[in-house]
Structure formats: C-alpha cells, structure tokens
C-alpha cells in the first residue's frame, strides 16, 4: 500500500475532539431555521470540569516532580515501584494475578496501550476480528498495520437485557476464517453494553479453541451501574494468561485524561514487544504523570460510588428525553458514560445533522459511522457532562430532530 | 516480515535507561579486581536534579491543570493558542516562518515526533538515508516501517574542525540509489558535532536535486558552545518548505523530559499525516504538559547562557580526563551534552566493558553499537550531570580502561 493510500484511510475529520478543524461549507445551504440558544455541550468527550479529577491527583503529581530525575526517567514500561503498586490493585480488581515486572506496561493513555498492543500482535495480512460498533480507533489500528479486519456484529438493539448481543456465530466464523486476534471493548464503546458472563465465557472458549489472542479494552469497567455484573475475561480458569492483554486507564471515570495514562497487562510476550516499540514511539508515559497512578484504585471512600450515582442520574434523565423523540431507539447503558441513540430518518444526511447540531445548537456529538459502517443513523454522546447543561443540550437535539425530520 | 522477526530487530537491552533490565551473567566471569567506590553516575541520560527544569515550568503546569478541561482535551496536534505562541518563537529561532495552524504539531517528546515523522514518510521498501553514527532510534524506526536503510558515514574523527565530516558523496550515492528521505540529527547525537553551513547547504541542494524529504532532529540546537555557528536547514532560501520537517523539544537542554514534550514543524502535508497517526498512537501530548511549552524560549534572562556555561565547563573537564587515557580519541562536542569517546583495544569486548563499568564502577554509559555498527569501540556519555560526580566517574572509567587494556 502506498503511504498516501495508507494515510487516506486514517481520516480524523469526524473524530471526537477534532470538530474545530471541520469545514462546514457542505452543510450551510441545508440548514433550516434559527440557532437554538443554550450552554454549549461537547459530548465528544467527558467534561472534567463537571466531574473533576481524583482528589489528590495533582498533589501526587507535584510530589513526582519533587522527586526529580528518578520520576522523570523511568524504564520504558514505567516506574518499577508504581508498576508493583498498580499491579496489586489490578490483580484484586480483575481477580487474577498481575506480573508487575514482566506483565505490565504503563503507556501514554489507553490509546497508547491499544496502539502498542495491536502493533505487537498484528502484521501485514493478519486477520483480526473486530466488533461493529466498537471504539473507532480499533478499525484504524488494524488498517494501519495492514491487517485484514473481519467484522463481527454487536446486535445491541435486538439483544435481550443482560446480553451484549455479540454475534458469537460470526465470531466463530471469523476465527474459522483465520482470525488470530480478537480486539474488543467491554463495556462496549459506543453502546455502553456489558458482555454477559456467558458471552465472555464463549469468547474465551472460542479464542482458546482457535489459538487466538485477545486484546480487551476495559477502560470503563469501573463505572458500572446498579445491578450490573461484570466478568473479567482474564480471570476465567480456562484462559491461558499468555493469550490475553487487558487494557485500562484512569482517563475517563477518574477524569485524569490530562495526564495521559494507561496500562496494559497480561501476556508477557506481548508486553515485552510493546515495550520495545514504546522505546521508539514515545519512550515512556510522561514520567511525572506516572506518579498520578498512585491515586488509582485508592480514591477516597465513597468517591467512586458518588461518581457512579451522579452519572447514572444523568444517564436516566437523558434517556427520558431521547425516548420522548418519536422514532429514537436508545438502549440503557450498563456501564461507562456513552449513549448511542439511533435517530429516525431525516431530511438531511445524518452526518450533516451532526454538523447542524454543532452549528445551530452548540452541541457536539460523534457520528455513528466512526464506530461502524452500519451505524450511520446513530450518534455517540459522552454524557459525563454537567447534568443540567446535558439535559438542555439533548432537548435542543430533540428540537432539531423535529426540524429536520424526513 | 513476520511479527516475531520485526520485533527481534527492535532490541532495547542496551538502550539508554534500560540497564536495570540487563542480565549480567555473561560478563561476571570476565570481571577483574574489586569494585571502585564513588557516586553512581548514569551517563545514559541527563541528570535533571543537577540541571533543573526551566524556572517556573511547574507553576505553568499547575496553571494548566487549573484551566481544567480546556487544557486536558486539545486538538490532537496540540492546543491552538500554545501552537501559535511556540510557532512564533520557533520562527524567530530558526529564521523561517512557521504555520502554527497547519504546519506544527505537539507530540509526546521528540521521540514521538520522530516516530510520527518517519511513519508519515516511510513505508515498506522505501529507501531512507541514515547517518552512522546517529541517534539509535533512527535505524529502528526505518526498520519498523520496513524501509531500506542506506547508511551514510559521518567521519567525525577525520573531519577538520568546523565540519561534521558527513560523507556527502555517500549521501549523493544514497539519493542516486533511490533514497527519498534523509533523516539526521544536528547537532549529531552521539558525537556532538554541528554541521557546517556548507554541509547543510550541500545536503539541501542534494535533497532538492533528487526530490527527497528531510527530517532534521534539532533537539540540541539551543545548547551550543562558544564560537560555534549553526545553520537551520529550513531557513535556506533554496529549500522548499514542504520538503522539510524539523523536530525539537524541551526535554534535554531545558530538563523538561518528565513532561514528555516535543514539536515537529514544516511540511504541512507531513504534519497532517502525523496528526492523523497521533490520533491512534497516543491521541495527543499530555494536555496539562502542553502548558509547559509556554516557558519554552521564554526562560529568564541569562538562564540559558548560564546553562551553556556550566555544560561547557563539564565538557572541558571530562575531555581533559578522557584525553589523558592512552589511545582514547575524543572530539570536542560543539553542541549538546554528548561525548562519544573511542576507547583503545581491550581484553574484553567493548560491550562487556560497558557492563563492567556499571557493575564495578557504578557508571552507566551507552555502547557505541547503538549508534552505528562501526562504532563498537566507542561509548556515549550524556555529560549533563553533576560536575564533580561526572569527573570522578570518568576517572573511574579511566582506571577500568587500564585494568582491562589489551
């Protein structure tokens, strides 16, 4: 593949957070009516002013700076003492041992971990099973390394409560067709569904049967709502620990995105490759930032419960507004802070509607096509926002749906 | 290339900073004599405790955290206002305009910039001219993207004062053989030589003649010693700005490595690709860290002069010790904080000598083979260290050279 072709597939025009670089000439002539006033809400990412970083995180960062060179220059895979600390907590959280010396790497964000994990397992022509819809970078990562993507549908609209709706037959078909890596997020981004214990067990069994590696992005696995049970794939007895890499980080639930921290843990062989690559990609996660991991899984008592409670309240209010729009489908997210409503037919393309929302209602959402070619009629909202502003913003979205209804 | 083969070429066992993961079984039986006592010195990287970060950098970081979401979530290429600020200063420093909107990207360290720049210009089978010796990651980056490396020798030992000794005939030969990218550092890492105005002019002319792109790593271009003149390639009249990417960052001279900040500026096409890739590699340089760039090129009056003066004093004292060792060649670095002495013949392999230094003298150096296959008898020392400790450490090195002399 020529380098121009390779990069033409890496479009970021609709990527979350890049809206400031978007042109709007294509939509201006299609706009109807006047702008809707209201507090701007950027649903492309969480609002860390409304949901502040973990208490004490800045102080721990400051202490890292005060440590000087020892904190600035760490092993490429991250400071040894911090890996030990985090490794123990991740073992307790996920229910399986973590080898802090050889089976854990600290990365610049979970994005950094995903990039390195895919780079360490996928090369030209390798077949990779990827869920649709799923985190938008998954597809791009596989394409960048010239792997062949075998899509597996997540039928979240049709699935009964308690199941994600992953098409397990399609997954087996992908393995049978030669996929040797399965990459997915749990909870799923963008739908917020959590895979059931049965589904995770089937995924693990199929991967084992076909000798595939699993990269599971558990970024949002701490932010789980009332009554939701969660299965850590890496903790299943039947799973060979060398076949799984689990990715997490404190950027979302803990609002620590400004420090760019992620971790990957599991397969020592894959982690070793990831470190070799990190040496030429970015050397290491910012040394001083690494110190902030000391606060992770050690938040003040009750802090996480309160964070979950507040997000659940926003979720429920937004769902009520969305479900009041004729023709909208919105499944209740079981974890994380994403809503992925499917909109009714409109008189303008759905991608244009996302632009109209931004231009006429100061509301930024991410088009569904970023997550699946079959989700063009959906939009993703990160509802980790100011509660009142978010409700008002979705009310404006509802008004605009009526204005542009087909 | 299989993924195992690809990663086997990405060795980090001797990479600077990774010594803690090294085995030593191979050398233990060859060790002679007793350990030499002294303050440990890690010459694999600078000591940011001896040469502290830019005054005010932490305060500017803190202000970034206080800004909240605006600073945590920036465009992938970095915060717009900070790009404007830094763009103006880089234009003044390098003597040519910088397009802050489309021709500048903020990255996680200069390593991040190098990775993205090579990824954006080199794909499978592309020929790339690479200097020997040069920064150790350059070779690995070209190999990772499956480019073909055409080495060009830097004859720094033989070169007259005022010239780097780049073999311009070999460079033209590489272009004639099809190299369409030339990647080099100026000042050169590891030798500390600065390319002359004539050499930079010839490089630019050759690249223009053969239609090649140039990636120039100017990481150390601010730390220049008395009487040294420096030519910014991007400022030459004959250069098409779209063919050059210049890379810098505040990690070294300014001791800000713990924040992981770099920038690349120049070719808009290449920068656009770099941003697309950054979106899946690490999203962005840590948002809060980006704020620290506000201090860059805006240090207190006299601060940089003093930093240069202190480094020049260390350089001169270390050179005196090294030149007192029979058979050592050490060229005077014109810029930066690296010394690259060539050692005499020893009774043990030079790579083993580097391990002996660490085990017996608590002195860490980087073997020359990291920088060139022809530099196995040299070692690199980053002399941005505590002055007294560094002199004592090089005195221990001198004692060990005598102990192991062939």
pLDDT in tens, A184-233: 999 999 999 999 999 999 999 999 999 999 999 999 999 999 999 999 99
Q: Is residue A202 part of a domain?
A: yes
Kindly list the residues from chain B whose CB atom is less than 8 angstroms away from the CB atom of residue A69.
Answer: 47-49
Boundary residue ending a domain (A248, A270, A295): A295
**pLDDT, chain B, mean:** 96
CA B255-B194-B303 angle, 5° bins: 35
Boundary residue ending a domain (B295, B313, B328): B295
pLDDT band at A395 (very low <50, low <70, confident <90, very high): very high
Please answer yes or no on whether B141 and A280 come within 8 Å at the CB atom: yes
Q: Quick one: average pLDDT of A372-393?
A: 98
Sign for the CA dihedral angle at B275, B278, B279, B283 comes to negative
Query: Over 80: is that where the pLDDT of B25 sits?
Result: no
Please answer yes or no on whether A276 and B11 come within 8 Å at the CB atom: yes
Query: Over 80: is that where the pLDDT of A25 sits?
Result: no
Q: Is residue A63 part of a domain?
A: no
Contact B75, A253 (CB under 8 A): no
Instruction: Report how far residue A84's alpha carbon sits from residue B16's, in angstroms, rounded to the nearest whole number.
Output: 22
Instruction: Out of A115, A258, A288, name the one closest to residue B258 (CB).
Output: A288
From B105, B106, B111, B108, select the one nearest B45 (Cα to Cα). Answer: B111
Kindly list the residues from chain B whose CB atom is less than 8 angstroms away from the CB atom of residue A114.
Answer: 280
Q: Is residue A57 part of a domain?
A: no
Boundary residue ending a domain (A263, A279, A295): A295
Query: Over 80: is that where the pLDDT of B284 sits?
Result: yes
Strand partners, B380: B366
User: A155 and A242 share a domain?
Assistant: yes
Q: Is residue A186 part of a domain?
A: yes
pLDDT band at A7 (very low <50, low <70, confident <90, very high): confident
> Mutual orientation of helices A109-119 and A268-281 as an angle, nearest 10°?
110
User: B45 and B61 share a domain?
Assistant: no
CB atoms within 10 A of CB B303: 12
From A100, A216, A338, A145, select the one nearest B281 (Cα to Cα). Answer: A145
What confidence score (pLDDT) does residue B103 get? 98
Instruction: Report how far residue A329's alpha carbon sits from residue A78's, in angstroms, rounded to the nearest whole number.
Output: 43
Query: Over 90: is that where the pLDDT of B11 sits?
Result: no
Q: What is the reported pTM?
A: 0.96
What confidence score (pLDDT) does residue A268 get? 98
What confidence score (pLDDT) does residue A152 get? 98
End-to-end CA distance of chain A: 41
Q: Quick one: average pLDDT of A279-304?
A: 97
What confidence score (pLDDT) does residue A257 get? 96
Instruction: Report how far residue B72's alpha carbon sits from residue B150's, in angstroms, rounded to the nearest whole number.
Output: 41
Mutate to test the interface with A, among B81, B122, B283 (most CBs of A within 10 A): B283
pLDDT band at A249 (very low <50, low <70, confident <90, very high): very high
What confidence score (pLDDT) does residue B13 get? 73
**pLDDT, chain A, mean:** 96
Structure-token match 């620290």, residue found = B292
Q: Is residue A31 part of a domain?
A: yes
Instruction: Out of A2, A68, A284, name the one closest to residue B48 (CB).
Output: A68
* Half-sphere exposure at residue A22, Cβ-oriented, CA atoms within 13 angstroms: 23
Find residues 138-197 of chain B whose CB sits inside 8 Å of chain A.
140-141, 144
B106-to-A205, A277, B84, B297 alpha-carbon distances in Å: 43, 20, 11, 15
What confidence score (pLDDT) does residue B105 get? 98
User: B171 and B79 share a domain?
Assistant: yes
pLDDT in tens, B355-370: 999 999 999 999 999 9
User: B102 and B183 share a domain?
Assistant: yes
CA B258-B262-B268 angle, 5° bins: 165
User: A395 and A377 share a domain?
Assistant: yes
Order across the sheet with A379-382: list the strands.
Answer: A338-339, A379-382, A366-367
What confidence score (pLDDT) does residue B100 get? 98
User: B284 and B369 share a domain?
Assistant: no
- Write out chain B in H/E/C secondary structure: CCHHHHHHCCCCCCCCCCHHHCCCHHHHCCCCCCCCCCCCEECCCCCCCCCCCCCCHHHHHHHHHHHCHHHHCCCCCCCHHHHHHHHHHHHHHHCCCCCCCCCEEEECHHHHHHHHHHHCCCCCCCEEEEEECCCHHHHHHHHHCCCEEEEEEECCCCCCCCCCCECHHHHHHHHHCCCCEEEEECCCCCCCCCCCHHHHHHHHHHHHHHCCEEEEECCCCCCECCCCCCCCHHHCCCCCHHHEEEEECCCCCCCCHHHCCEEEEECHHHHHHHHHHHHHHCCCCCHHHHHHHHHCCCCCCCHHHHHHHHHHHHHHHHHHHHHCCCCCECCCCCECCEECCECCCECCCHHHHHHHHHHHHCEECEEHHHCCCCCCCEEEEECCCCHHHHHHHHHHHHHHHHHHEC
User: A96 and A185 share a domain?
Assistant: yes
What CATH number should be reported for the domain holding residue B335?
3.90.1150.10
User: A84 and A143 share a domain?
Assistant: yes
Inter-chain CB pairs, A–B, below 8 Å:
192
Concatenating the DSSP letter of every residue in A306-319 gives HHHHHHHHHHHHHH
With b for 16 or more beta-carbon neighbours within 10 A and e for fewer, the A266-297 pattern comes to bbebbbbbbbbbbbbbbbbbbbbbbbbbbbbb
CA B327-B329-B334 angle, 5° bins: 165
Q: Is residue A61 part of a domain?
A: no
User: A306 and A259 share a domain?
Assistant: no
What confidence score (pLDDT) does residue B383 get? 98
What confidence score (pLDDT) does residue A161 get? 84
User: A278 and A315 share a domain?
Assistant: no
Please answer yes or no on whether B258 and A286 come within 8 Å at the CB atom: yes
B312-to-A249, B280, B307, B309, B383 alpha-carbon distances in Å: 43, 41, 9, 5, 10
Q: Is residue A64 part of a domain?
A: no
End-to-end CA distance of chain B: 41
The percentage of residues in chain B with a pLDDT greater than 90, rounded to a whole number, is: 92
- Write out A138-152 in H/E/C secondary structure: HHHHHHHCCCEEEEE
What CATH number should be reported for the domain holding residue A98?
3.40.640.10
Tell me if chain B has a CB within 8 Å of the CB of A382. Answer: no
pLDDT band at A8 (very low <50, low <70, confident <90, very high): confident
Instruction: Report how far residue A124's alpha carbon sits from residue A143's, in angstroms, rounded to the nearest whole number.
Output: 9
What confidence score (pLDDT) does residue B16 get? 75
pLDDT band at B4 (very low <50, low <70, confident <90, very high): confident
Burial zone of A380 (CB within 10 Å; 0-12 exposed, 13-18 middle, 19+ buried): buried
User: A261 and A337 share a domain?
Assistant: no
Kindly list the residues from chain A whose CB atom is less than 8 angstroms away from the CB atom of residue B109.
Answer: 282-283
Find residues 4-33 of chain B whose CB sits inside 8 Å of chain A.
6-7, 10-12, 15, 17-18, 20-21
3-state secondary structure of A43: coil
Query: Over 90: is that where the pLDDT of B94 sits?
Result: yes
Please answer yes or no on whether A281 and B2 come within 8 Å at the CB atom: no
The percentage of residues in chain A with a pLDDT greater than 90, rounded to a whole number, is: 92
What confidence score (pLDDT) does residue B3 get? 84
Give Rg (Cα) of chain B. 21
Q: Is residue A394 part of a domain?
A: yes
pLDDT in tens, A141-178: 999 999 999 999 999 999 998 899 999 999 999 999 99
User: A150 and A13 share a domain?
Assistant: no
Report the relative pairing of strands A213-217 and A181-185 from DSSP bridges. parallel
Query: Over 80: is that where the pLDDT of A19 sits?
Result: no
Number of domains in chain A: 2
Query: Over 90: is that where the pLDDT of A256 sits?
Result: yes
Query: Over 90: is that where the pLDDT of A3 sits?
Result: no
pLDDT in tens, B124-136: 999 999 999 999 9
Instruction: Report how far residue B152's alpha carbon sits from residue B174's, in angstroms, rounded to the nearest whole number.
Output: 8
Find residues 56-95 of chain A whose CB sits inside 8 Å of chain B.
58, 61-62, 64-65, 68-69, 71-76, 80
What confidence score (pLDDT) does residue B93 get? 98
Contact B72, A17 (CB under 8 A): no
Tell me if chain B has a CB within 8 Å of the CB of A276. Answer: yes
From B117, B92, B142, B147, select the one nearest B246 (Cα to Cα). Answer: B117
From A402, A392, A385, A288, select the one nearest A347 (Cα to Cα). Answer: A402
Residue A10 backbone dihedrals phi, psi, to 5 degrees: -100, 40
What confidence score (pLDDT) does residue A306 get? 98
Using CA coordinates, name the residue in chain B closest to A251: B72
Range of the domain at B381: 3-52+302-404
Q: Quick one: average pLDDT of B186-199?
A: 98
């Amino acid at each position: 593949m020529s380098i121009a072709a390779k990069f033409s597939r890496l479009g970021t025009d609709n990527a979350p957070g890049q809206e400031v670089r978007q042109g709007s000439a294509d939509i201006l002539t299609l706009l109807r009516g006047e702008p809707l006033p209201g507090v701007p809400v950027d649903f492309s990412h969480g609002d860390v002013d409304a949901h502040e970083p973990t208490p004490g995180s800045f102080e721990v960062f400051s202490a890292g700076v005060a440590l000087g060179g020892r904190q600035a220059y760490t092993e490429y895979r991250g400071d040894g003492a911090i890996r030990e600390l985090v490794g123990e907590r991740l073992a307790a959280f996920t229910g399986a041992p973590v080898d802090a010396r050889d089976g854990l790497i600290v990365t610049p964000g979970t994005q950094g971990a995903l990039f390195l994990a895919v780079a360490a397992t996928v090369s030209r022509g390798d077949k990779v099973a990827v869920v649709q819809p799923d985190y938008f970078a998954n597809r791009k990562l596989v394409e960048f390394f010239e792997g062949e993507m075998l899509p597996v549908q997540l039928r979240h609209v049709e699935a009964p409560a308690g199941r994600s709706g992953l098409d397990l037959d399609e997954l087996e078909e992908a393995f049978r067709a030669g996929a040797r890596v399965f990459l997915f997020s749990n909870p799923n981004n963008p739908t917020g569904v959590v895979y059931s214990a049965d589904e995770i067990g089937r995924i693990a069994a199929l991967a084992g049967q076909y000798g595939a590696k699993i990269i599971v992005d558990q970024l949002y696995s701490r932010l789980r709502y009332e009554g939701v049970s969660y299965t850590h794939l890496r903790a299943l007895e039947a799973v060979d620990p060398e076949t799984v890499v689990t990715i997490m980080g404190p950027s979302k639930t803990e609002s620590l995105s400004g420090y760019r921290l992620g971790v990957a843990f599991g397969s020592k062989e894959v982690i070793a490759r990831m470190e070799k690559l990190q040496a030429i990609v970015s050397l290491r996660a910012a040394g001083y930032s690494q110190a902030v991991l000391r606060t992770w899984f050690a938040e003040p008592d009750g802090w996480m419960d309160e964070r979950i409670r507040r997000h659940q309240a926003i979720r429920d209010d937004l769902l009520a507004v969305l479900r009041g729009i004729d023709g909208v489908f919105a499944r209740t997210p079981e974890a994380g802070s994403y809503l992925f409503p499917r909109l009714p037919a409109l008189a303008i393309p759905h991608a244009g509607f996302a632009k109209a929302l931004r231009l006429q209602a100061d509301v930024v959402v991410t088009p569904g096509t970023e997550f699946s070619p079959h989700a063009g009629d959906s939009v993703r909202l990160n509802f980790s926002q100011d509660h009142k502003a978010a409700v008002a913003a979705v009310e404006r979205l509802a008004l605009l749906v009526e204005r542009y209804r087909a």
